[in-house]
Amino acid sequence: MNLLERTHAGFAATFGHPPVGVAFAPGRVNLIGEHVDYNDGLVLPMPILAGTAVAWSPWAEDQIDAVALDFGNARDRFTIGVAQPHQPADWRSYLRGMAGCMAERGYRAPGAKLAIAGSIPRGSGLSSSASLCVAVGRALAAASGTPARPPRELALAAQAAEQEWAGVNCGIMDQMAIAAGNHGHALLIDCRNLSTQQVTLPSDWAVMIVQSGVQRGLVDGHYNQRRNDCEVAAAAIGVAALRDATSEQVEAATLGPTTRDRARHVVSEIARVGAAVGAIEAQNLPALGMILRASHASLRDQFEVSVPAVDALVRCLNTAIGSNGGARMTGGGFGGAVVAVMRSEDIAQVEAALHDGYRLPDGSTPLLMPA
């Protein structure tokens, strides 16, 4: 039973009748451009096969009645426009937030029954929260009988839901990648004006996602602190955002060592995104591999969001891939997933190298996911 079938069946078992429809939103993996979206930078994510499904049916009541099939059929029922954020933040916070933020933008469903299920490992760094928000937004729009929301509108509502209802001061990358991305393409996003460009990956390249076995969380303060560091650096340099800063300005500014390192990463990472797009368009996989490796080193040493288990996994992948590609951590950091780009013909040997040479912190073999 696939995800859509499982969600459809879960809805029927919960509410006693089949849903009218099932909405879906993918997760995303970020090829490069980490921690630069909230600095108005450039990012290069792509949607993945795993995602979130929301089975829906309109309801005459001015309420949402939802079941989370992956959380022991936990329920949440609330009146749209009246509900408060759930504390501590969990799936109900994102659900209530998306309903509230959609309503604020004039897309208010009269009420709906929802069944929610997903195939993205939680805490994997593949944006299960943004996937949930966008899938809920699509389901509520369908339940209201209104046309599908433009990707930009869905993304902004999802971002607001995460910020205002779950306490994660996130950028816009995840939501835009999920709402506007096309499978098989990376999506170049200018996070200042939300313009996008589809970047086609060569057909003989493969993108592999590998779980580190370290579940991460963003609401424990690390993410928000990194964002604050960047804002302090931008203010000291005298720019609106680090997108506008140069390496020379970073070095000349009066900054503490930690804040300077945060700014160094952001400025260099934005430059790496442009270089990565050029490498993809030129079908230069060795060049892209070098860019991915430099990104990981910067995230590890300057932005300090990697952890030893992730570093070990990246080293194992880079050794197995060799010069024809590369790997780096992906997502907010402190665990989660690693992304690798390689020749399609090298997949089997890379998988074998991981199986023989790397173990997760619990001693098991790593979980590999195709993008």
pTM: 0.88
Comparing CA positions, the residue from 93, 95, 180, 97 lying closest to residue 132 is 95
Residue 230: per-residue pLDDT = 97
Residue 284: per-residue pLDDT = 98
Overall average pLDDT of the 102-127 stretch? 84
What ranges do the domains of the chain cover?
3-29+47-183, 201-370
Biggest CA-to-CA distance, the chain: 66
Model confidence band, residue 193 (pLDDT cutoffs 50, 70, 90): very high
pLDDT tens readout for residues 57-101: 999 778 999 999 999 999 999 998 888 888 888 999 999 999 999
pLDDT tens readout for residues 293-319: 999 999 999 999 999 999 999 999 999
Residue 360: per-residue pLDDT = 84
pLDDT tens readout for residues 31-42: 999 999 999 999
Residue 219: per-residue pLDDT = 45
Burial code (b: 16+ CB inside 10 Å, e: under 16) for 216-253 equals bbbbeebbeebbebbbbbbebbebebbbebeeebbeeb
Residue 216: per-residue pLDDT = 66
HSE of 131, CA atoms in CB hemisphere, 13 A? 28
pLDDT higher than 70, residue 229? yes
Cα dist from 286 to 11, 16, 183, 298, whole Å: 47, 55, 23, 19
Overall average pLDDT of the 265-287 stretch? 98
Residue 215: per-residue pLDDT = 75
User: Residues 264, 270, 272, 274: what is their CA dihedral angle, to the nearest 10 degrees?
Assistant: -160
Which sequence positions are flagged as catalytic? 174
Phi, psi values for residue 311, rounded to 5°: -60, -40
Residue 74: per-residue pLDDT = 97
CA-based end-to-end distance of the chain: 20
Average predicted confidence (pLDDT) for the chain: 92
With tokens 């400025």, the residue in question is 267
DSSP classification of residue 206 = E
Overall average pLDDT of the 259-280 stretch? 98
pLDDT tens readout for residues 119-141: 998 767 788 999 999 999 999 99
Class of domain 201-370: alpha beta
Phi, psi values for residue 8, rounded to 5°: -60, -45
Q: H or E element: which one contains 51?
A: strand 42-58
Q: H or E element: which one contains 188?
A: strand 185-190
Class of domain 3-29+47-183: alpha beta
Residue 88 burial (10 A CB sphere; 0-12, 13-18, 19+): exposed
Overall average pLDDT of the 226-231 stretch? 95
Note whether 40 and 231 are within 8 A (CB).
no
Model confidence band, residue 220 (pLDDT cutoffs 50, 70, 90): low
pLDDT higher than 90, residue 345? yes
Note whether 241 and 39 are within 8 A (CB).
yes
